Amino acid sequence: MFRSLISDFAIIKERDPAARNVWEIIFCYPGFQALTIHRISHKLWKYKLPLLPRLLSHATRFFTGVEIHPGAKIGKGVFIDHGMGVVIGETSEVGDRCLLYQGVTLGGTGKEGGKRHPTLESNVVVGAGAKVLGAICVGTNTRIGAGSVVVKNVEANSTVVGIPGRIVHQSGVKINPLAHSALPDTEANVLRNLMDRIDQLESEILGIRDLLNNQRNQNTRKKEDIIYGESQNLKDKEIIEFIGEDFNDIK
């Protein structure tokens, strides 16, 4: 347990530039406080003591805003940043050097017994407000974007965004765990591809229409009478509102 506390200190110093000294971490970091008390309650839980582990967990929730069931298994060097609203269920497993932001839920689905909460392998980053639900496994070095909802297994070295979570593989690329601004906007990318395809198809249709009209008898229909549809493009107001005006600058 002492080694785990040392690892928790080290990871906070490494990943949070606001952590100036040991005393500040001890008294002002609710995530660290919640983990410290959890390690005690988890020991008591393994000894099958009644009620006391749950009372410690409940008191921790009251004082820190972090709810960790005493049955949850948490590795070394885990950092719960800010921590308010974090919920970690009974059969959850959190690997070494994981980073959880405020509002994260490692929750279960249904009322079945046994393993019903997620397993996070080492070096997983879960963004603010993200929900990881069910007895699934999230592979090492994976990032889960803020607000995502993950309900399926995730391979190692991946990035997950959206509701439900969609996987974008980044195998072999070293990722800064704090670089949340680097998360890909998959919805905007898909929309861009669809609009490019629509532009291409509408251009082809207009070309075929011109070819047919050129073959017709111009005396029966004036060219000015032909109505041409305007091709959709990324300048349309609705699309700009959805993906943002700066999306055209993204390469």
How confident is the model over 68-92, as pLDDT tens digits? 999 999 988 899 988 889 999 999 9
Residue 202 and residue 84 share a domain: no
**Residue 179, pLDDT score:** 56
Is the pLDDT higher at 26 or at 38?
38
Question: Alpha helix (H) ranges present in the chain?
Answer: 2-15, 22-28, 30-46, 52-64, 186-215, 237-243
**Residue 119, pLDDT score:** 93
Residue 132 and residue 196 share a domain: no
SS3 75: coil
Task: Give the whole-angstrom CA distance, residue 12 versus residue 24.
Answer: 11
Residue 193 and residue 166 share a domain: no
Rg (Cα) of the chain, in Å, rounded? 26
Query: Domain limits at 45?
Result: 2-180
SS3 155: coil
Residue 170 and residue 60 share a domain: yes
Count of C-beta atoms within a 10 Å radius of residue 209: 14
Residue 193: band (very low, low, confident or very high) from pLDDT cuts 50, 70, 90: confident
* pTM, 2 dp: 0.69
Residue 176 and residue 128 share a domain: yes
Residue 66, domain CATH: 2.160.10.10
Residue 122 and residue 45 share a domain: yes
Residue 159 and residue 103 share a domain: yes
Residue after which a domain boundary falls, among 156, 180, 204: 180
Residue 251: band (very low, low, confident or very high) from pLDDT cuts 50, 70, 90: very low
Residue after which a domain boundary falls, among 151, 180, 209: 180
105 within 8 A of 131, measured Cβ to Cβ: yes
Task: Give the whole-angstrom CA distance, residue 18 versus residue 2.
Answer: 24
